[in-house]
Structure 1
Amino acid sequence: MSTFKPTAESIPPSNNNELKLKLPHNLPVNYHPLNPLDFLLRAALIYGTKLAIAHPDVSTPVFYTYSVWAQRVQNLAYALIKAGLKPGDRLAVIAPNVPMMADSLQGALAARVILTAINIRLTPGEVAYILDHSGAKLILIDYEYLHLIKGTRIPVVVSNDTGRSEDPYEQFLSDGRRFSAEKGWPGLEMEADENAPAMLCYTSGTTGRYHLMLTLNSSSLPGTYLAAIANAFEGQMNRESTYLWILPMFHAAGWTFPWANTFAFTTQITMRSVNYPLIWKHLLESRVTHYCGAPTVQIGIVNDPAAKHPPQQIKAYIAGAAPTAHLIGSLEQIGITPIHVYGLTFTYGPFTRSYPQESWSSLSLEERSKLIARQGHSFATAGDTRVVYRAEESPKGPVELVDVPKDGKTMGEIVTRGNIVMKEYFNDPDATKKAFRGGYFGSGDLAVMYPDGSAAVLDRSKDIIISGGENASSLSIEQELASHPHVLEVSVIAREHKKWGERPMAFVILHPQHASKWTGRHEEFAKDLISHARKTLPGFACPEWVQIVPELPKTSTGKILKTELRKVVAKL
């Protein structure tokens, strides 16, 4: 860090400590538009010399204090305005977890443009669709992903991820600084309308080309602002915290953790890719206290050869798919505290959490892990979470939502409403109306409600296995199969059965430590796993078929693509 010097234009003026946006005219005294950009400006004011961004694992490492980072974000805002972007225009960003991506999530708010962060693992055709559909006016792109926009006519700014003055992205920021004429933050006007859009997110993988608008405010109170505060609070993040970026920032705006971190004054470490040895280097040597990851990423972390009990407390937020109790227990055993949260891109990321109870302390690790694996209760800043039936009065009439009994058995759909629910599907009023039928947002996740008011997801509606008239939850089956000591990861889907209609089929990745035992003996392993399942599962839920695979198809955020597994089964 001592050898790195930010570009001259990244250094804030010594005589200007005005870290406030210009207030719009005629604002009532008792009203301040709640904008998560305020968190960065507040951090730069209070802890200006504290390390904000560390990007060490590249050929030219960079390190930015809060004061310097705030100046760079300001430069970006002015550069966007100089490039002709106006409030409401869309800015596309295609990059991994690098400083440019972190800048963009703040700078777009400062320039009052709508950020479209694009998944780096999409095909050029999918990227072209998003650029066209969003109407992007400018693209900020990391050098490694230029192949995704070949032939585009949209203006492009390339980052070589160096932080050096000759880097095109750095030159773009420097142009912004000169364009500002040192007006500073007061030269940028705060967005007065909290309903103004902030993010345009395109969901990945399993649901196709859906698109939705996340806003600073989804009704009368700001969604991004509240979601960020909730995430920081749920993990007890503070100025002593160090957050490791494993979750892609392009995925649902990093579950709003870009702003949770600035709210809590943390230090953020960015990495270009998910590299398990490198992750463990940081967990053991960089004082990391928090990170987020989908279950499949957490599996990779706890089973990496470098894994061992870290010297400091680490809290891991788990979401993106339902974790197994076995995985939760594995994290605890290695000294990582799991924070199981549940949410969707449509809800700014997490909106529920499995809240630990005092009574759990007397339970075994296995019993406690099963309780933590539930999706739990709503965040303090989230709205109501219900598990319901939809009783339609008529195909086009009003929809009545009927709560399922709190018996832990009766299945319904998780629905929610409130300030951390998306505003709308972009340019698709019919899809928006359908999603909000009954006055709540329907998640598509099937769940039960327990007597204590906590919810537990059993499956996606499309993943339920109907066998002999019985509903079998693929997630519940996966929970039990994952407890087999030789199973590293498992996914279960329905396969056609002549007698029962459907039966479960399990695709299994063997644990590396035990894979050699079953070489050439896959049929014997299948029998052993089915025997293991029969100890806890009813007959209709036990897998009829087991296939050992080297890997499972996944989205860039770690969700298993059951659509791809269904294609495999269709050919059997």
Structure 2
Amino acid sequence: MMSKFTETRFGFAAESFEPTPASIPPVKQIFRLRTPPGLPVNLHPLNPLLFLLRCAQICPQKLALAHPDVEYPVFYSYAVWAQRIQNLAYALIMSGIQPGDRVAVIAPNSPLIADAHHGVLAARGVLTPINTRLTKHEVSYILQHSGAKIILVDHEYVHLVSDANARCIVSMDTGRVSDPYEDFLNEGRTFSAEKGWSGLDMELNEDSAATLCYTSGTTGRVNVLTVTIYPSDEDYWQPKGVLSTLRGSYLASIGNAFEARLDRNAVYLWILPMFHAAGWTFPWAITFAFASQITMRTVSNSLIWSHFKNFGVSHYCAAPTVQIGIINDPDAVRLPSPIMAIIAGSAPTAHLIGELEKKNILAVHVYGLTFTYGPFTRAYAQPSWEMLSLEERAKLMARQGHSFATAQEVRVVSFGDNDELIDVPADGKTVGEIVTRGNIVMKEYFRDERATQKAFRGGYFGSGDLAVMYPDGAIAIQDRSKDIIISGGENASSLAIEQELSTHPDILEVAVVARPHPRWGERPMAFVVLRPEKVRQWNKADNDFSESLKVFSRGRLPGFACPEWVQVVDELPKTSTGKILKTTLRGIVAKL
């Protein structure tokens, strides 16, 4: 019985767990999809599902997925997990899912959403992960627009789909026979008539859709920001479905596995929500690398540190704001073995990188968007950097760097006549827009040809992010187009201001936005979260913190970039992935 593992890191809980009978694979299993006739001998269509089948064949007893921090913990070997995913595929087909049909999933990081990233592809459907923090109205719009035929939903989020027209399969997150989701998998196993993987067809067209991930805007029917960029074109501000392909997902997964240095000994901890840009393709990067993964329903810093200390975690992804919470938790200590922290969402500050390194957490700074399958560039450290101070090295590490090996070259351009792309000088000063094309770019906006054409202006995908190009070819974001502060005719980067202000020893987090000024047009306003140990000190101080920060900034920033106003807040508004919501801050400023 394939319920025991070669690893015993979770001790008795893992050893005593027994998967459902339907999850136990047959003694002899062939991990091969059915190949339709006519496929050329020198070709196999790229599909990230193939990574899972390879894992199940090569290391069947290896721990694939652990879900320990719940009432009913589960632990699946690769052989067992592959059987469960196979059951899910057959259950979806039994329920009428045809190639190209959308299957929605609404769940926190848990086995359900991990299963769906593979099982939906095995059924040749299109995975549509939905942000659990959206309102019922917003979820209803996405379900209607996507045309999802089946909804896989965690029990805590059933209220979001109570009036959905599609069939809903509810998971109680127990892994036990009485769970409705387990019943669904059991039905799939019965329907399969033990044909196994060989009874499931390979998708011949690698350009077929793999995922449909929805961004959200500040106008239209959805009013919650989950996008990772702020493009200048107003049409981008409508909610849109980003359609990604099997080929792109396959190559992005390999790129992420390579850049994160995932391997067979890796243990990946799910902090980044899997619903966000399909987990930046890490659900498949993990299986590509034969790694193990741990899922957590909620992000708890004390729980994160428990996993860091006790269960051999080697990798995780999180935005800088989430990283700040991790390193400032009371349970934080220096770890005996290094952990790779893949950071995206905004540039990590020198202080953050330094604090992470003190805990033996090594930052891997990447950049990407939902439209690019998550990360597609990385700041590649150079040997010469080892001679630099931490602050100098961190500033170089904070650049967005160069493209992944599986992506095409990233460019910084201005637009000429007839949408001609003109590369900016590689001088580290001239600002242009980041554009890219190639393997790791979305196929299209779902059911929105006009928006797709605008996004692909000049034959490239325009990110809306403003950057400079350095002589070594590395790019560095200066700001989002919405976030540039124009003061007295000078352009001030809110990101550059934040980088400098974050070096103040009393600041935990800071965000800067433009505020109207009667003389200069705009001036920076800083929203600051103080370090917990400094809050009481400043409350008792005779002088205001805002004056202290203004004096501090004058020695580091040009006058037009110094904050005119400073507001100390308890916390900054953030998305579900920890990205600071500057639209909310701009809304606060508009009322001042």
TM-score by length of 1: 0.97
User: For the residues of structure 2 that align with 1:39 and 1:160, how far apart are their CA atoms?
Assistant: 28
- Correspondent of 1:387 among 412, 427, 447: 412
Identity of aligned residues (%): 65
Runs of 5+ consecutive residues of structure 1 not aligned to the other structure: 217-221
- Correspondent of 1:543 among 549, 557, 563: 563
Matched, 1:28 2:27: no
2:444 aligns with 424
User: For the residues of structure 2 that align with 1:559 and 1:523, how far apart are their CA atoms?
Assistant: 31
Matched, 1:361 2:381: no
Matched, 1:267 2:325: no
User: For the residues of structure 2 that align with 1:448 and 1:24, how far apart are their CA atoms?
Assistant: 48
2:72 aligns with 60
User: For the residues of structure 2 that align with 1:142 and 1:513, how far apart are their CA atoms?
Assistant: 39
Deviation at 1:322, TM superposition (A): 2.4
| Aligned length in residues | 561
2:16 aligns with 3
Letter in 1 for 2:525: M
- Correspondent of 2:243 among 186, 210, 213: 213
**1:561/1:94 CA distance change after superposition, 3 Å:** same
Matched, 1:143 2:155: yes
Following superposition of structure 1 onto structure 2, how do residues 187-206 of structure 1 map, counting pairs within 5 Å? 187-204=199-216, 205=225
- Correspondent of 2:455 among 430, 435, 446: 435
User: For the residues of structure 2 that align with 1:418 and 1:523, how far apart are their CA atoms?
Assistant: 54
Can you list the C-alpha shifts for 1:163-204, whole angstroms capped at 9, x where unaligned? 000000000000000000000000000000011111001014
- Correspondent of 1:451 among 462, 465, 471: 471
| DSSP 3-state at the match of 1:126 | helix
Conserved in 2, the CA contact under 8 Å of 1:198 and 1:215?
yes
Conserved in 2, the CA contact under 8 Å of 1:200 and 1:213?
yes
User: For the residues of structure 2 that align with 1:211 and 1:483, how far apart are their CA atoms?
Assistant: 38
**1:193/1:522 CA distance change after superposition, 3 Å:** farther
2:306 aligns with 281
User: For the residues of structure 1 that align with 2:36 and 2:565, how far apart are their CA atoms?
Assistant: 64
Following superposition of structure 1 onto structure 2, how do residues 39-50 of structure 1 map, counting pairs within 5 Å? 39-50=51-62
Deviation at 1:365, TM superposition (A): 0.8
Conserved in 2, the CA contact under 8 Å of 1:522 and 1:548?
no
User: For the residues of structure 1 that align with 2:141 and 2:545, how far apart are their CA atoms?
Assistant: 44
1:464 aligns with 484
2:221 aligns with none
Root-mean-square deviation (CA, aligned residues, Å) is 1.0
Matched, 1:239 2:264: yes
User: For the residues of structure 2 that align with 1:488 and 1:2, how far apart are their CA atoms?
Assistant: 42
User: For the residues of structure 1 that align with 2:350 and 2:373, how far apart are their CA atoms?
Assistant: 25
User: For the residues of structure 2 that align with 1:240 and 1:322, how far apart are their CA atoms?
Assistant: 28
Following superposition of structure 1 onto structure 2, how do residues 5-404 of structure 1 map, counting pairs within 5 Å? 5-14=18-27, 16-204=28-216, 205=225, 207-216=237-246, 222-391=247-416, 393=417, 398-404=418-424
Letter in 2 for 1:517: Q
| DSSP 3-state at the match of 1:144 | helix
Moved more, 62-71 or 153-162: 153-162
User: For the residues of structure 1 that align with 2:577 and 2:295, how far apart are their CA atoms?
Assistant: 16
User: For the residues of structure 2 that align with 1:301 and 1:487, how far apart are their CA atoms?
Assistant: 16
Deviation at 1:457, TM superposition (A): 0.3
User: For the residues of structure 2 that align with 1:135 and 1:326, how far apart are their CA atoms?
Assistant: 46
**1:208/1:247 CA distance change after superposition, 3 Å:** farther
Letter in 2 for 1:389: S
| DSSP 3-state at the match of 1:463 | coil
Can you list the C-alpha shifts for 1:123-143, whole angstroms capped at 9, x where unaligned? 111000000000010110000
User: For the residues of structure 2 that align with 1:356 and 1:562, how far apart are their CA atoms?
Assistant: 30
User: For the residues of structure 2 that align with 1:412 and 1:437, how far apart are their CA atoms?
Assistant: 15
| DSSP 3-state at the match of 1:254 | helix
Can you list the C-alpha shifts for 1:194-231, whole angstroms capped at 9, x where unaligned? 11111001014155512210111xxxxx2111110111
Can you list the C-alpha shifts for 1:78-106, whole angstroms capped at 9, x where unaligned? 00001111111110100000001000000
Letter in 1 for 2:136: P
User: For the residues of structure 1 that align with 2:176 and 2:117, how far apart are their CA atoms?
Assistant: 21
2:7 aligns with none
| DSSP 3-state at the match of 1:26 | coil
**1:121/1:523 CA distance change after superposition, 3 Å:** farther
| DSSP 3-state at the match of 1:462 | coil
- Correspondent of 2:434 among 369, 390, 414: 414
Deviation at 1:235, TM superposition (A): 1.6
Runs of 5+ consecutive residues of structure 2 not aligned to the other structure: 1-13, 217-224, 228-236
User: For the residues of structure 2 that align with 1:208 and 1:460, how far apart are their CA atoms?
Assistant: 18
2:495 aligns with 475
Can you list the C-alpha shifts for 1:382-410, whole angstroms capped at 9, x where unaligned? 0110000011x2xxxx3111111111111
Matched, 1:501 2:518: no
Conserved in 1, the CA contact under 8 Å of 2:91 and 2:188?
yes
Deviation at 1:523, TM superposition (A): 6.1
Deviation at 1:17, TM superposition (A): 2.1
TM-score by length of 2: 0.94
Deviation at 1:325, TM superposition (A): 2.3
| DSSP 3-state at the match of 2:275 | coil
| DSSP 3-state at the match of 1:514 | helix
1:528 aligns with 548
Deviation at 1:328, TM superposition (A): 1.6
User: For the residues of structure 2 that align with 1:176 and 1:418, how far apart are their CA atoms?
Assistant: 37
User: For the residues of structure 1 that align with 2:268 and 2:588, how far apart are their CA atoms?
Assistant: 39
User: For the residues of structure 2 that align with 1:319 and 1:36, how far apart are their CA atoms?
Assistant: 23
Deviation at 1:147, TM superposition (A): 1.5
Conserved in 2, the CA contact under 8 Å of 1:328 and 1:373?
no
Moved more, 522-531 or 53-62: 522-531
Moved more, 87-96 or 306-315: 306-315
